[in-house]
Structure 1
Amino acid sequence: MDKLSIIAIIGGLTAILAGQALEGGHLASLLQLTAFLIVIGGTASAVMLQSTPRQFVGGLRLLKWVFNPPEFGHEKMIGEVVRWSQHARKGGLLALEPFVAQQHDPFARKALQMLIDGAPPETLRSVLEVEVDMAEHARRQCARIWESAGGYAPTLGILGAVLGLIHVMENLSDPSKLGSGIAVAFVATIYGVGSANLFFLPVAGKLKHLIAAEVALKELVIEGVSAIAGGENPRIVEARLRGFLAIH
């Protein structure tokens, strides 16, 4: 569980509500169902329109990464690859057969199997890099729905404000209805700008970082098996792979 993400969301909401209270405003005035439907409903519809069903559903599933990010284990994978290198140096590539079944990551299992099958370094790298590029592209397309939501929400907030002002103008002769229209107008803007900058855009940014970490792990595996296939010394393999820890 990523406690920092939870603290950040609670902290952002608390700052807004506390600021409202310190200015003497009523917290209940920020609760406007009409404004919520306009901004959140409109934003969701816009995102669905620009996305394929697979991208939209994939983006929603990626949201869990923000609060419960996967443990990619770069350090652990470096140790694993170095172990492969040591066994291959002593007993040849066929000595790596027992390690295949131990791999829970399908990508690492595939890379190791190709290495055992005797694929040359150039072939290993070219085949595996295509898979990484396609997987990264698919992930980023899914994560992009949150970035898009961050762009649409403020605009929908302005739309909600305009609709609220239209309601005000239509009821200038009835002062009792002016307050609700003005409230919807301003609260819709708050919902739009607030949701974009406190949730949608930060979520998109965090997902990009996590996707980069996932890609770095796969590139680490590619670099490692390519080095093993080229017969490099295990110490050199480890030194080369240490550079991937910077992504964390």
Structure 2
Amino acid sequence: MDLGTVVGWVLICVLLFGSMAIGVGIGPYIDIPSVMIVFGGTTGCLMVGFKMEQLKKMFTFYGVAIKPTMVDIPGTITKMVNYSTKARRDGILALESDVNNEDNEFLKKGLSMAVDGNEPDAIRSLLEIDMEQTSSRHGGNIKIFEQVGGFSGAMGMIGTLIGLVAMLLNMADPSAIGPAMAVALLTTLYGAMIGNILGGPVANILSIRNDDEMMEKQVILEGIMAIQSGDNPRTLESKLMAYLPPKERKSQFE
């Protein structure tokens, strides 16, 4: 579980709703027409703009934001160097047992192709297609949350205009001004909260998760290419270490 994401959301909720409660209480910030406009309008826009198959998985994507698949680049580099050492010492066919026990599906696929004697260009092409399509799927999921921010903000502005029109039409009736003004203000509030708590931050963290995953896969790809060509493990390690910040580059040969 990503502690930063969870703590961040808890902190937002505590501070925002706590400040409301300390002020005039939570009740005045609840307005049914505003909820209908912003939440209903945003949901409708998402249904129009995306496939239902994508929207059904939204809560799964929230789960990825909270509990992502762990990416360990240094650990992956160490594994690739160990595979390289074994292949250089005993031959690439000696990695067959490692392929069967490998948990990383991307690494398992590439290493299996190398052990089977496929051409380097074929291996690189297949793995790059896998990376491209995976990143493309992730991009589509990220787009949903980017649009949550845009749609909710737009619905908030639409609700504000609806409230202002209602208020201007009832200027002669003081009792009608308050509810209309509540719609005008609270729709903007709801839209801003949805966009900046649920939309933008989730899209951003999912984008970071995607970048991390693509980096790990690039390390694996380069490692497999080096193993198949019989590169020296030290050379391979030096090459893969370039993907890490200088402070994290710790050679296992030292």
Same fold (TM over 0.5): yes
How far 1:172 moved relative to its partner?
Answer: 3.6
Secondary structure, counterpart of 2:230 in structure 1? coil
2:52 aligned with 1:82: no
2:8 aligned with 1:8: yes
For residues 137 and 209 of structure 2, the distance between their equivalents in structure 1, rounded to whole angstroms, comes to: 14
Q: Which moved more, 1:48-57 or 1:107-116?
A: 48-57
For residues 46 and 139 of structure 2, the distance between their equivalents in structure 1, rounded to whole angstroms, comes to: 15
For residues 187 and 153 of structure 1, the distance between their equivalents in structure 2, rounded to whole angstroms, comes to: 12
For residues 151 and 133 of structure 1, the distance between their equivalents in structure 2, rounded to whole angstroms, comes to: 26
How far 1:213 moved relative to its partner?
Answer: 0.8
Superposition map of 1:107-146 within 5 A: 107-146=106-145
* AA at the equivalent of 2:226: A
Superposition map of 1:183-222 within 5 A: 183-222=182-221
How far 1:21 moved relative to its partner?
Answer: 5.9
Secondary structure, counterpart of 2:35 in structure 1? helix
* AA at the equivalent of 2:94: A
2:90 aligned with 1:95: no
* AA at the equivalent of 1:4: G
How far 1:18 moved relative to its partner?
Answer: 4.8
Q: Deviations over 1:104-134 (max 9, x none)?
A: 2221111110010112333221221011101
* AA at the equivalent of 1:107: F
Contact 1:59–1:143 under 8 Å retained in 2: no
Secondary structure, counterpart of 1:244 in structure 2? coil
For residues 185 and 236 of structure 2, the distance between their equivalents in structure 1, rounded to whole angstroms, comes to: 59
Secondary structure, counterpart of 1:101 in structure 2? helix
For residues 59 and 139 of structure 2, the distance between their equivalents in structure 1, rounded to whole angstroms, comes to: 13
TM-score by length of 2: 0.88
Identity across matched positions, percent: 29
Secondary structure, counterpart of 2:95 in structure 1? helix
What RMSD in Å do the two structures reach over aligned CA positions?
2.0
TM-score by length of 1: 0.90
For residues 86 and 179 of structure 2, the distance between their equivalents in structure 1, rounded to whole angstroms, comes to: 73
For residues 236 and 150 of structure 2, the distance between their equivalents in structure 1, rounded to whole angstroms, comes to: 44
How far 1:20 moved relative to its partner?
Answer: 4.5
For residues 65 and 221 of structure 1, the distance between their equivalents in structure 2, rounded to whole angstroms, comes to: 22
Aligned residue pairs total 246
> Structure 1: 5+ residue runs without aligned partners?
none
Q: Deviations over 1:35-85 (max 9, x none)?
A: 122112211221221112333334442211111121122222222211111
Q: Which residue of 2 aligns with 1:35?
A: 34
> Structure 2: 5+ residue runs without aligned partners?
249-254
* AA at the equivalent of 2:64: W
Q: Which moved more, 1:215-224 or 1:56-65?
A: 56-65
Q: Which moved more, 1:167-176 or 1:38-47?
A: 167-176
For residues 6 and 28 of structure 1, the distance between their equivalents in structure 2, rounded to whole angstroms, comes to: 26
For residues 58 and 217 of structure 1, the distance between their equivalents in structure 2, rounded to whole angstroms, comes to: 24
For residues 66 and 188 of structure 1, the distance between their equivalents in structure 2, rounded to whole angstroms, comes to: 27
* AA at the equivalent of 1:68: K
